[in-house]
A and B are shown apart, each in its own frame.
Chain A
């Protein structure tokens, strides 16, 4: 077994539209959180580069690769690797996003796994006990999905 953070909510959109907003428009609803910064520098803007990778582009144009896209099924499922700049080889997390029609809404579910690969003493965990770290991370994902929902109107 391994640790897992799962957050889900409904958005008022079709699965296809929700997927499009999550991917093509991520730069519009994403909100950086200093606790979970990808790089030690000021946060940039997130975007999906084709169906290849998720990147963060800083003001000066420098690009950080957050992760490669492993699954790209528009309107259904997205799986992307997820790492911070301070991760060393062997540290890897992964984010799965699923889109499920519920009536005229879509249930968007984010499942973030792999945080066990990052040692408790690593800077990315800020000294939090594991479950507290995961709970904070879950709250951040909920904030993010709330922002996505607001973006979809």
Chain B
């Protein structure tokens, strides 16, 4: 403290040219706001709309009168090319070349991105739309295909067996992969040795393993060598081989994000490595680890090629993973759409819609868990505790009211 005072006092006594004066920050009347770059001016909008309209008119003349072509796609492409060139021309009227390039690139990038997003959304809506024929039937979710022939209407049979099969297979795969995957990821992060670096390299290499090769491996070893029948367990093994590297890799990345200072603080307080991992590293990265597990699950449940080779196909419900073929959602889709019958294809699309809903749900849950910060989690816990205490206090009030009532009647009766 003493040295501090000296340092402050000295310049006051002897002001010199070397002194740096620091002013207190100016209080702004309004808080600073981030400026938005870009944005859209009226003129920009007008030239875009104008170019679009002009290009449309030109394209109509070009494709119907001058050089006739057929097909909506061809017309669209001609229109788009004309639109971009008209827009470039419009901008070049009052801006230099640099700005023309900037504007045209902005329009092209925006339209390609829009195209991609609309394709992706279209894929989902197309599958769900074609599947909506099968979706209203309740039997579609609970029945199996045993009693339904290829010519039967959608009111007979369903994919209950595939839904259950998928759930059983992914559960077994998770029982195998979660402990192994998390242990391996913790190992890669906690123990830094030549061997652990080797393991990391091999795991990274294995993320390149095509899923069909994982299926082929299980087919050749478990089924042909060890005589495991084509069954749910074989499919689960194939899914596990495929999921394991994916899960380890993303869990490894998540664990690496745990601040080193937190670990050092824990070690510095005398905690053992095991205590540090259990009470600091894992809780800190809990949401990230959950996300990596859920995303690997989404991959595992949607992949067809490993189960194609290992699970076998059946139309009947089978809940025993150890024997007999067990069908899963992706495999059911694959088999349904092989048939030329419209009702079977509708079933295929319906199954695809169910599978998509499962994957979307998993994904949304993953996002929700992944965005869970400790602060938000704590807030949720406090809210839940409040609800619990209010319910408890409600019960307590009710109980005391009842007791009062009972006591009142008793005291009336007693005398």
Tell whether A pairs with B: no
* Residues of A in contact with B (beta carbons under 8 Å apart): none
